[in-house]
Amino acid sequence: MGKEKVVLAYSGGLDTTAIIPWLKENFDYEVICCCIDCGQGEELDGLEERAKLSGASKLYIENIIDEFCDEYIVPCVKAGAVYENKYLLGTSMARPVIAKKLVEIARKEGAAAICHGATGKGNDQIRFELGIKALAPDIKIIAPWRMTDVWTMQSREDEIEYCRQHGIDLPFDAKHSYSRDRNLWHISHEGLELEDPENEPNYDDLLVLGVSPEKAPDEGEYVTMTFEAGVPKSLNGKEMKVSEIITELNALGGKHGIGIIDIVENRVVGMKSRGVYETPGGTILMEAHDQLEELVLDRATYDVKKDMGNKFAQIVYEGKWFTPLREAIQAFVDVTQQYVTGEVKFKLYKGNIIKAGTTSPYSLYSESLASFTTGELYDHHDAEGFINLFGLPLKVRAMKMQEL
């Protein structure tokens, strides 16, 4: 009978490297590392060596970029899912697909447990664990940062020292920098001066994906995109898969200072936290999609879809991806997207996305109706009766008030 196995969500950073010997020492597990590539762009070279050197028996590197784009990002774009008016869910959307992969590997390896390095104060512990519970209720979850009786390390120095004691001497440094999370859609920054909302972010040090609007070119740049049934299909006349479109848009958006937000958000665990998010390509994609939807959706559907989009954002933010409610709202959204097909043109300029024309074969905009000349469909006299009935409740109430 061999040792029980644990699958560790592994990034190659200091935290998850220190967790390897810790799991072996405290639980006597065989540790299988799993690095999930959602487009973090960080070097994945040398990870295998590092994981083995740290005592892992195996390392999986799973590229899930296309699955992430097609099955997680696209539904959020279609829904117009934005959390608290600003946050485009960059970290939130990636967690369920990571959880799903961890479960797949745990099943393949016959592992008894899954371990993650998320802290006990954040949202990510919830997202990972709700995903794992929904897909594999029988698998045990280990969260070292919450196990303060067994996990006694308090600082980066402690972790470096712990690794050294266990024969792992890696070039980690002890300096505290921003806490970041990166994938193809965005990068988030927390910590340092951002911990106090009174401080302006130090954008020159902080930005990774682009420049601030002040440093963007003085020349605007036109971009054309097409969508079919709500899904982006081409960029500047070139058909590409979604992951390629996002990659290109990231470069364009970064260059023109687009998609930088500074937000104090309400975490699921009840506290407010301050972060700066860079989502250059995502911001453009969401805006372009909205630009097309304006033409195609009728007023009543548009109205309900806005509420549903907010609800969808909250569900994703709270880690409830694998739920009947998410599936149901996504089904509603898919019906609304049937005719969101057409071409969108806009100009990028110093942090702005400026409309430059939209066309769709399904556009509900009628020039003859909207113009000031009288057309067949609209008789000005009809408006009088409409206003009389539409305004009746106000008028009745006003008469009653006068009487009193």
Q: What is the Rg, in whole angstroms, of the alpha carbon atoms belonging to the chain?
A: 25
Q: What is the pLDDT of residue 175?
A: 86
Confirm if 380 and 369 have CB atoms less than 8 A apart: no
Tokens of 264: 């104090």
Let me know whether 189 and 232 are in one domain. Answer: yes
Let me know whether 103 and 208 are in one domain. Answer: no
**Which residues sit opposite 235 in a β-bridge?**
225, 238
Q: What is the pLDDT of residue 374?
A: 64
How far CA 54 is from CA of 16, 45, 58, 121, 328, in Å, comes to: 10, 16, 11, 27, 44
How far CA 214 is from CA of 33, 283, 354, in Å, comes to: 42, 18, 17
Which residues fall in the annotated binding site for L-citrulline? 87, 92, 123, 127, 179, 188, 265, 277
If 0-12 CB within 10 Å is exposed, 13-18 middle and 19+ buried, where does residue 211 land? buried
Pairwise CA distance, residues 275 & 132, whole Å: 26
**Tens of pLDDT along the chain (404 residues)?**
689 999 999 999 999 999 999 999 999 999 999 999 999 877 677 898 999 999 999 999 999 999 999 999 999 999 999 999 999 999 999 999 999 999 999 999 999 999 999 999 999 999 999 999 999 999 999 999 999 999 999 999 999 999 999 999 888 888 889 999 999 999 999 999 999 999 999 999 999 999 999 999 999 999 999 999 999 999 999 999 999 999 999 999 999 999 999 999 999 999 999 999 999 999 999 999 999 999 999 999 999 999 999 999 999 999 999 999 999 999 999 999 999 999 999 999 999 999 999 999 999 999 888 887 767 788 899 999 999 999 999 999 999 999 99
Let me know whether 376 and 249 are in one domain. Answer: no
- What CATH number corresponds to the domain at position 229? 3.90.1260.10
**CA angle, 379 then 382 then 385, to 5°:** 170
Which residues fall in the annotated binding site for ATP? 9-17, 117
Q: Which of 165, 199, 224 is the last residue of a domain?
A: 165
Is residue 185 a part of any domain in this protein? yes
- What CATH number corresponds to the domain at position 65? 3.40.50.620
Q: Which domain covers residue 139, as residue numbers? A: 5-71+90-165
Phi, psi dihedral angles at 322 (to 5 degrees): -85, 65
Element (H, E) at 345: strand 342-349
pLDDT digits (tens, 9 = 90+) for 296-342: 999 999 999 999 999 999 999 999 999 999 999 999 999 999 999 99
Is residue 328 a part of any domain in this protein? no
pLDDT digits (tens, 9 = 90+) for 43-55: 677 898 999 999 9
Let me know whether 160 and 183 are in one domain. Answer: no
Is residue 94 a part of any domain in this protein? yes
Is residue 397 a part of any domain in this protein? yes
Smallest CA-to-CA distance from 25 within 50, 54, 52 is with 54
Let me know whether 111 and 250 are in one domain. Answer: no
pLDDT digits (tens, 9 = 90+) for 249-294: 999 999 999 999 999 999 999 999 999 999 999 999 999 999 999 9
Is residue 309 a part of any domain in this protein? no
Q: Which of 143, 165, 187 is the last residue of a domain?
A: 165
Catalytic sites, residue numbers: 15, 95, 124, 179
Q: Which of 141, 165, 189 is the last residue of a domain?
A: 165
Residue with tokens 């393949």: 108
Which residues fall in the annotated binding site? 9-17, 87, 92, 117, 119, 123-124, 127, 179, 188, 265, 277
Q: What is the pLDDT of residue 333?
A: 98
Is residue 85 a part of any domain in this protein? no
Let me know whether 201 and 146 are in one domain. Answer: no
Which residues fall in the annotated binding site for L-aspartate? 119, 123-124
Let me know whether 11 and 148 are in one domain. Answer: yes
Let me know whether 37 and 57 are in one domain. Answer: yes
Full-model pTM = 0.96
Is residue 365 a part of any domain in this protein? no
Let me know whether 234 and 277 are in one domain. Answer: yes
Is residue 321 a part of any domain in this protein? no
Residue with tokens 């006299």: 381
Let me know whether 233 and 348 are in one domain. Answer: yes
Let me know whether 144 and 25 are in one domain. Answer: yes
Let me know whether 223 and 154 are in one domain. Answer: no
Per the structure, how many domains does the chain have?
3
